[in-house]
Structure 1
């Protein structure tokens, strides 16, 4: 017997997209009934826009500048009392879907809610190794905004509570996809550091960071309990900070050369 989805008429769900035809439908199918869906697209060249409209979304277009501004622009398009900000690679579990419907239909004092987000990596729902986080994603409209251009986060004015249920994060389809994103994100972060006038960390701190990060994720945060996917995730994640600063070093050398 199929599940009857709960209704959430007080909820707006907002997403920013760029060429997300492979994942968007899974996200939109997981939403509660009767919610408003708003997609802010950055001129996708695939079927992203048509898929969004097929699922009842209102689609607007805006050139991408940075993640915080783009997500704030998407939230500004919402018209319901509560706003849930999602990425196209995130899927609600039935428990989370029910919790969203209940909290947005009830009277409560919270300004926002944290969600439990679990990474799905190489076919496994990772439970350890820093693969679970608790981002603020559900807010009462007008009580907060995204800050930080790269690793954007919601800054809230008011009380923040937590919701039951999991948000599944299908961030990487495979290792090729992981390293494509890895390359883009480390370049963006390095360019942001350069624009802010940051310099390279010196000495052992830079050279040891990948090893300490791996030890932290795989041993201290019990990543080994997630088997081979846990080992792979800890290993590739440990290189992130090292590479972003290596790219910053390249920028500093390039800009200082005659």
Structure 2
């Protein structure tokens, strides 16, 4: 048959249902008499190449798994008055073709849609009763002035003569594949209704609906008269219904897709980060990425009161909430009451532990993300993936936005200072005798716990060596409480400048003006890296990949590290500290190298 006998007022829209061989058969039955054929399929380039090599058809893509969505996508590509909407596993027989040909020659009357008489082949057997999947969209001929949904509305639709043969699964294995596919469709359908189920309602629906489906297929549709094929089809359809509910919860609820589809409606987000200063600095990429992708959302942060300075002046943060490090029950209750007045749309606890989870459980919010580094994740509505144990803190925090379907665009840390703070640091350092013509090397000889502290005697030797270089000026920083321990460094170098009576923000500003920071596994080195200041870290027993996710060359962040057998001991004190067995000479050599290649 030549192309002149093809009908140019009719387009066939074929929803790809997964079998390439059955699609070929479907297209062969249509190609001889329909001018325009559109195949709607997922974005699969291999399938596209195979189809294009055999048939002259138009391809379009639809991510949704539902047949209805695929047909609607195809309708957007056609301009003919009539469309034939079928599946790729269906064959239009000769008599049905004749009935369609006659119908599209007539003028459009009250009836705009015509159902196609279905014959089902299932498990290689032609069925007497046309068993069809629950809520399945019927294949039909339609005039394009009518919408697809009308086929599901009450009322009678004319059925054409002839036969549309649908080939279901040939084996139990293929049936199982179809069950998964139909479950995906039903999950998508539930999501399209935008219904928020309570836990009880969801469980009842998931249990009762499959029973109804089984009764409908096996009893009402006379599946019991089809024997083995009938009971198999009824069980498969009931399973697809149950799995559809489970898939909906997996993908749309705890998988975050439902929240992702509603991200534009979010107004306020709370990030809980009850961690020390260094961990909070590692959280700044999350905050920035969140604000960049949701610019109209108000972002609040809850952290320890002493850690809040690293977030101050951050343009991505709108509000702060704090707790003391060891809060009383009254502190916690007051905070919870305050937070519950705000009605956060989403709460992210990025590094959860006992207290963070307790607070999260008491704050009212429809959406909660609780990212556990260790232990069983709980108290969440949207799940973050269980992470590789040695994955970096930055990446773990960014998993919170990935669970919303967003992508992390960058991972650098950042701290913000005002020009006044920088000016204060510069003037204060000059008033203390700091010579900015030299390479200013800041040394932080303490840490939160003693097991992380390189011996002070070694620091003393290192400072003495640095001080002997006319081009280097070492300075020391510590808290006022730590000064009693640090002042022994003045024994050999009485004119050594020690900054101890300063705030956290002032400490940050001083680091900003330095050329190199040498630190234990502590916060000043994180501050330095956020500013791009070269850094040397004397790393102790913690996990480097998690808490030091920096690149040695790109971030100028060098880590002295001994991979000892007792690493990850979780002790706070140790008399041995072999993990910190670095000599002052090797640290000095590294410092000189990082300060300037010209310094000898």
User: Normalization by structure 1: what TM-score?
Assistant: 0.75
* Equivalent residue runs for 1:126-165 within 5 Å: 126-128=127-129, 130-131=131-132, 135=138, 137-141=140-144, 143-146=145-148, 160-165=157-162
- Does the aligned pair in 2 maintain the 1:19–1:47 contact within 8 Å? no
- Does the aligned pair in 1 maintain the 2:17–2:88 contact within 8 Å? no
Residues 111, 248 of structure 1: alpha-carbon distance in 2 compared, 3 angstrom cutoff? closer
Root-mean-square deviation over aligned CA pairs: 3.6
Structure 2 distance, partners of 1:127, 1:246, is 32
**1:25 equivalent in structure 2:** 24
Bigger Rg over Cα? 2
Where 2:169 maps in the other structure, the secondary structure is: coil
- Once the two structures are superposed, residues 98-119 of structure 1 have per-residue CA deviations (whole angstroms, 9 ceiling, x without a partner) of 1111111233413221222233
**2:115 equivalent in structure 1:** 114
5+ residue gaps, structure 1: 1-5, 148-152
User: Normalization by structure 2: what TM-score?
Assistant: 0.36
**2:14 equivalent in structure 1:** 15
Where 2:104 maps in the other structure, the secondary structure is: helix
Structure 1 distance, partners of 2:183, 2:73, is 24
- Does the aligned pair in 2 maintain the 1:40–1:60 contact within 8 Å? yes
**1:150 equivalent in structure 2:** none
Quote how far apart the aligned CAs of 1:207 are. Answer: 4.0
Residues 75, 155 of structure 1: alpha-carbon distance in 2 compared, 3 angstrom cutoff? farther
Structure 2 distance, partners of 1:135, 1:188, is 15
Larger RCO, structures 1/2 (Cα 8 Å, 6+ apart):
1
5+ residue gaps, structure 2: 256-366, 369-377, 380-600
Structure 2 distance, partners of 1:230, 1:240, is 15
Where 2:168 maps in the other structure, the secondary structure is: coil
What is the total number of aligned residue pairs between the two structures? 244
Q: Does 2:172 correspond to 1:175?
A: yes
Structure 1 distance, partners of 2:44, 2:250, is 31
Quote how far apart the aligned CAs of 1:43 are. Answer: 2.7
- Once the two structures are superposed, residues 162-217 of structure 1 have per-residue CA deviations (whole angstroms, 9 ceiling, x without a partner) of 21122222233432222223224324534653653134547877545544543442
Structure 2 distance, partners of 1:60, 1:207, is 39
- Does the aligned pair in 1 maintain the 2:183–2:244 contact within 8 Å? yes
Residues 129, 226 of structure 1: alpha-carbon distance in 2 compared, 3 angstrom cutoff? same
Where 1:37 maps in the other structure, the secondary structure is: strand
- Once the two structures are superposed, residues 83-110 of structure 1 have per-residue CA deviations (whole angstroms, 9 ceiling, x without a partner) of 1112211111222111111111233413
Quote how far apart the aligned CAs of 1:81 are. Answer: 1.9
Residues 66, 45 of structure 1: alpha-carbon distance in 2 compared, 3 angstrom cutoff? same
Residues 53, 146 of structure 1: alpha-carbon distance in 2 compared, 3 angstrom cutoff? farther
Quote how far apart the aligned CAs of 1:38 are. Answer: 2.1
Residues 11, 238 of structure 1: alpha-carbon distance in 2 compared, 3 angstrom cutoff? same
Quote how far apart the aligned CAs of 1:19 are. Answer: 5.9
- Does the aligned pair in 1 maintain the 2:6–2:35 contact within 8 Å? yes
Residues 45, 174 of structure 1: alpha-carbon distance in 2 compared, 3 angstrom cutoff? farther
- Does the aligned pair in 1 maintain the 2:48–2:59 contact within 8 Å? no
Structure 1 distance, partners of 2:8, 2:115, is 20
Where 1:13 maps in the other structure, the secondary structure is: strand
- Once the two structures are superposed, residues 24-77 of structure 1 have per-residue CA deviations (whole angstroms, 9 ceiling, x without a partner) of 1110122251432122443324345443563332x2343524644442231122
Structure 1 distance, partners of 2:73, 2:124, is 33
- Does the aligned pair in 2 maintain the 1:92–1:167 contact within 8 Å? yes
**2:217 equivalent in structure 1:** 217
Structure 1 distance, partners of 2:94, 2:41, is 27
Residues 19, 49 of structure 1: alpha-carbon distance in 2 compared, 3 angstrom cutoff? farther
